[in-house]
Chains A and B, each alone.
Chain A
Amino acid sequence: RKEVEQDPGPFNVPEGATVAFNCTYSNSASQSFFWYRQDCRKEPKLLMSVYSSGNEDGRFTAQLNRASQYISLLIRDSKLSDSATYLCVVRGGQSGGSNYKLTFGKGTLLTVNP
């Protein structure tokens, strides 16, 4: 099983649609969780951290289910500018308490169409 697995995509949605990304991780000792966004031919940038209680930032909502080792990202009222690759990221859980290695999923490409 891969360390971090995401929906393969791609997703093509019209403006205003709601889109959900799913991610699972294999290491139950993982310590923290993030969604990053990567625009074409650019470096990844943090979109939001994911907390156990779930968290929201404007149109974006992230959820974490530790029991199921599952992370999700919901984008409401999608905009053209949301078109990008969304990367699920898991940190830590390796041997040695101070190893905070970041492991990335392969990403899901989202295209929002006018």
Chain B
Amino acid sequence: GAGVSQSPSNKVTEKGKDVELRCDPISGHTALYWYRQSLGQGLEFLIYFQGNSAPDKSGLPSDRFSAERTGGSVSTLTIQRTQQEDSAVYLCASSLQGARTEAFFGQGTRLTVV
């Protein structure tokens, strides 16, 4: 079975451009998370989707960031008018519903804003 798939694996974009990052979770996983990790830093929570519930957007750093999850499966994280400080690895994870379930991560998208 496939794991969590993220695309692209690497993205270089010019400052001011919009980017879309895609996450394909493990089939059947109702929970989906987005994090970002800057070089040498910890994981910063961005947004969490759980089934049909309203997403927890408390970690989105600004209104330039948005995410959606269509049909309870694939998710897209969009960053508008990218800035250099947006450069990081964006990690997606998915899990079954429940407090004790394991979250599986994709390999991430490395975003570089030049």
Hey, which bits of chain A sit against chain B, CB under 8 A? Answer: 31-32, 34, 42-46, 49, 87, 91-92, 94, 96, 98-107
Contacts and interface: CB of A to CB of B under 8 A. Distances in A.
Please indicate which of the listed interface residues A34, A43, A98, A103 has the most CB atoms of chain B within 10 Å of its own CB: A43
B42 A105 contact: yes
Given A32-B99, A94-B56, A102 B105 contact: no
12 contacts: A42-B107, A43-B91, A98-B50, A98-B97, A99-B48, A99-B50, A99-B53, A100-B31, A100-B101, A101-B56, A105-B42, A107-B42
Contacts of A99: 48, 50, 53, 56
Given A100-B31, A101-B56, A104-B42, A32 B105 contact: no
A43 B106 contact: yes
Contact of B105 (A43, A96, A98, A106): A43
Given A87-B42, A99-B48, A100-B31, A46 B98 contact: no
A87 B43 contact: yes
Interface residues of B, number: 27
Contacts, number: 59
Given A32-B100, A43-B105, A44-B105, A98 B45 contact: no
Top 4 A-B residue pairs of the complex, sorted by shortest distance between their CB atoms? A106-B42, A43-B105, A31-B99, A104-B43
Contacts of A104: 35, 42-43, 45
Contacts of A34: 102
B42 A102 contact: no
